[in-house]
Structure 1
Amino acid sequence: MSEIEIPYGAYWSTPFARWQGSLSHLHSLKFAAHVAKDALKRRQVDPESFDFAALGMSVPQKGSFYGLPWLAGEMGIPHLAGPTISQACATGVRLLQTVASTIREGDSQVALAIACDRISNGPHIYYPAPQGPGGTGDHENWVLDSFNWDPYTGVNMVTTAENVAKEYGFTTEEQNELTLIRYAQYENALKDDSAFLRRFMDLPFSVPDARFRKEQTVLSGDEGIFPTTREGLAKLKPVMEGGTVTFGGQTHPADGNAGIVLTNADQAKALSRDPGIKVSIVSFGQARVKAAHMPAATIPAARRALQAANLTVNDLTAIKTHNPFAVNDLVLAKELGLSLESFNDYGCSLVWGHPQSPMGLRAVIELIEMLAIKGGGHGLFVGCAAGDSAMAIVIKVEDRA
């Protein structure tokens, strides 16, 4: 099986902004194209070198039916075609698997995985129903209704976390403790003028107006992250009566985009910021667990990715997770035998937010940089998604021989 590489440094992420914040006025697909053009120029990657691309997008916006071809046209590379992929919070990993498979099959040599979402101002959709009473149609709020109701199980996402908390006996106090650890880890990313974030994020970040003609504001980093204290968390009551999950122990919706270049081994050196660092995609894993237990899906997904890589959790140098709930990390740590402090250094989606499609790409980018800082090794990213499912990816960072 041919090796798929991510050229070191050939990736980027915008800051993530809490919904209804500084990115809420931007069409996410146009914004992603705007950011990608500048990011590729800064990284000295010629857009004409791409022969394939795929777009991840889970919240539709006007015109998004045209997906990747429209985005490519906006980037100035109208020869490029490819699919638009949507798998809720697993979109980022699915996107990487799709692009990697295309390269492995010989249909591409240099490709782009790009993902965007604007959770703010989500669409309100009307569905005609001629057989309904008086021909009255049906409707939904794409974002809020998806958070609040799984049409298969009939429950909201908080209930899935409560079900796992109940099964494992996790208390609010344990969730609060985990949350404090994660916020402290994110503080490491902000040290030395956000040195860690600057490894992949172009800061200060210029936010354009809706017509992309002038600068509207400037972000120094992620927006909308509130100070979190033990005392503040202790004052919060569970969201559900008789439950354990508070607003302090769950992530927040956000807006943003991210991109990663993938290629074969022959091309990777030329596209890398540091040709001496080799970043390889090793394996993927997918899983689905029993109904209404979404946070637990990460466990079998992680195990399948590790099995495919012929690794154990003890072989890993770094781990990143998508944790919409503190419960996610509690259950993963318990099942895989991890200490809570041993993974998610420099931050995670519990802290910096949840723009569904690009969230996984940013986590993988951070995982690459964590491994580079540690001198290499294998890393795992795993995250749950709607439908009690999850996806995982194993990557390896090493010195290029």
Structure 2
Amino acid sequence: MKEASPCYPKAFIPYGTWGGSWFPAWHTSPFAEVDIARFAAEAMPLILRKKKVQINQLDYMISGSTIPWLYKFWTSPYLSHCFGHRLPGYHLEQACATGLQAIVKAAAQVQSGSHHAVGILTFDKTSNSPAGVFPNQGTYRRTEVISDIWDNFGYDPSTGQSGFDQPSGQTSMIACAGRTARKFKLDFNEVAECAFHRYQQYWDAVDNGKLDNILFPLEVLDVRGQKMGLVDADFGIKRYKALGQFTSERQLDTCVSPGGQTHASDGMFTMLMTSEEKAKELSVDPGITIQLIGSSEYRTTAGFMPDAPGYAIKELLERTGLTMDDMVAVNNHNPFAVNDIVFSKMLDFDWHMMNATGCPMGYGHPQGPTLVRVTVEALERAVVVGGGYVLIFGCAAGDVGIAAIFKVTDSKGGR
């Protein structure tokens, strides 16, 4: 195996110290009715205790989400107050890239020597998301009112400023996918085949319990402490049984069908970043080490989001001296099956050989925690095959891509 040095050599991810909720589709679970930030904060110590980690072993916290929530002004210090261990920290967001950015920034925090055990908490709730009222004397309407989720999905102001016509829907996320599909001359049959394959991968993982060590059933209580329900699955996912179900679907834009795109959902995910000493102390298996090799971001042409991750990956591979052949696990956030085919063409990589246990296109996209779940699934996959390099990538809304490479080493004879 090629040797590539970690970008933050003092930062380690303790193996197994991670987990989260399932990602129920919007309005399919009790998550729709709760303060998801406080719920995530209260769930974090419960999940870590399952991995024999106590919340008071952490000394810093980085949180990430994209949708406004109650008391967001107070960010991470408020969230740590909710679980009863008062920590310093901060909050970040970068659309769909939020989760991966939180991991990268946590590594930098440890590398600086400022803290030795950073808790990462990501969450979002698309259900019942707020609307915002923005007084603005600089616009002809004087006051702007937007639905935080749906209006931002439907209109990217960067592409709007580039001459696209907002009322026609040409700045929506769906339009980004269709436009990029035309650029790369994609075949809808291949896109449909990819989408069908992704669902098969996901259901195989669920049916065989491959996700049970990272996704946990969480009970939701109301203010009186009475049960509102149990979230124990990615509710709302259709179980496609034949490729023909995809090829017969109406295309919403070029190569974009209902089954070939993700759906809004709710959920949370947590993991840790620590010093080497702390990682050995907290890890489920101290013989397994995990480090961040590097990360990259790229901004593509306005409105061509699906090709942005490909450019980020190319830059990252060139900088690290690695190739796609060095990767033992490749996982991504793919709002559209189009993204996977574009990546496959740009990197000359077989799209069958990625997302072994599923992907957000199938199980849903709550935004903040999505790329943390993607990362954890990939790291677990790397452990199963004996270690090696792991590639994670995804988009950040309309025209930005992000990518990161991790190295998993198993001292018990693995790579």
Q: TM-score, normalised by structure 2?
A: 0.91
Where does residue 311 of structure 1 map in the other structure? 322
Q: Check if 1:201 corresponds to 2:215.
A: yes
Residue 156 of structure 1 aligns with an amino acid whose one-letter code is S
Q: CA deviation at 1:372?
A: 0.8
**Structure 1 residue aligned with 2:402:** 391
Corresponding residue of 2:165? none
1:62 corresponds in structure 2 to 70
Letter in 1 for 2:144: D
Q: Which SS does the other structure have where 2:132 is aligned? A: strand
Counterpart in 2 of 1:141?
A: 147
- Structure 1 position 387, deviation (Å): 3.5
1:32 aligns with 2:40: yes
Q: Per-residue displacement from partner, 1:20-61 (whole Å, max 9, x unpaired)? A: 111211211111112102112222212122121111010001
Residue in 1 that maps onto 2:353: 342
Structure 1: distance between partners of 2:327 and 2:224 = 43
Establish whether residue 114 from structure 1 lines up as the match of residue 121 from structure 2. Answer: yes
SS in structure 2 opposite 1:30? helix
Taking structure 1 as the reference length, what is the TM-score of the superposition?
0.94
Equivalent in 264, 273, 276 of residue 253 of structure 1:
264
Q: CA deviation digits over 1:149-175, x for unaligned, max 9? A: 001112111111111100111132221
DSSP 3-state at the match of 1:304 = helix
Q: Quick one: distance in 1 between partners of 2:311 and 2:130?
A: 33
Deviation at 1:212, TM superposition (A): 7.5
Residues 350-395 of structure 1: per-residue CA shift (max 9 Å, x gap): 1111010100000000011100111111110000111400111111
Distance (whole Å) between structure 2 residues aligned to residue 340 and residue 106 of structure 1: 39
Give 5+ residue unaligned stretches, structure 2: 1-7, 161-170
Encode CA deviations 1:243-293: one digit per residue, 9 max, x unaligned.
Answer: 331111110011000011110111111101111211222111111111110
Letter in 1 for 2:63: L
- C-alpha distance in 1 between matches for 2:289 and 2:199: 30
Q: Distance in 2 between matches of 1:309 and 1:210?
A: 49
Determine helix, strand or coil for the equivalent of 1:208. Answer: strand
Tell me how far apart the structure 1 counterparts of residues 402 and 35 of structure 2 sit (CA, whole Å).
Answer: 27
For the 8 Å contact 1:128–1:137, the answer to whether it is kept is yes
Does 2:110 match 1:128?
no
**CA–CA distance in structure 1, aligned partners of residues 10 and 136 of structure 2:** 50
Q: Name structure 1 gaps, 5 residues minimum.
A: none
Q: Which residue of 2 aligns with 1:226?
A: 238
Match of 1:184 in 2: 200
Could you tell me which residue of structure 1 aligns to residue 164 of structure 2? none
Q: 1:322 to 1:340 in 2, by over 3 A?
A: same
Describe the SS at the equivalent of 1:115: strand
Work out the CA distance in 2 between the residues paired with 1:234 and 1:132: 44
Relative to 1, partners in 2 of residues 1:74 and 1:315: Cα closer, same or farther, differing over 3 Å?
same
User: d(CA) in 1 for partners of 2:187 and 2:367?
Assistant: 27
* Cα distance, 1:90 vs structure 2: 0.5
Q: Which residue of 2 aligns with 1:162?
A: 178
Q: Is the 8 A contact 2:25 2:265 kept in 1?
A: yes
Runs of 4 or more, structure 1, over 3 Å off, are 129-133
Q: Which amino acid in structure 2 is aligned with residue 112 of structure 1?
A: G
Q: Is the CA contact 1:119–1:143 (under 8 Å) kept in the aligned structure 2?
A: yes
Shift of 1:130: 4.9
Contact kept? 1:199, 1:369, Cα under 8 Å: no
Instruction: Say which SS state the counterpart of residue 369 (structure 2) adopts.
Output: helix
- In 2, Cα distance between the equivalents of 1:20 and 1:212? 22
SS at structure 1 position matched to 2:153: helix
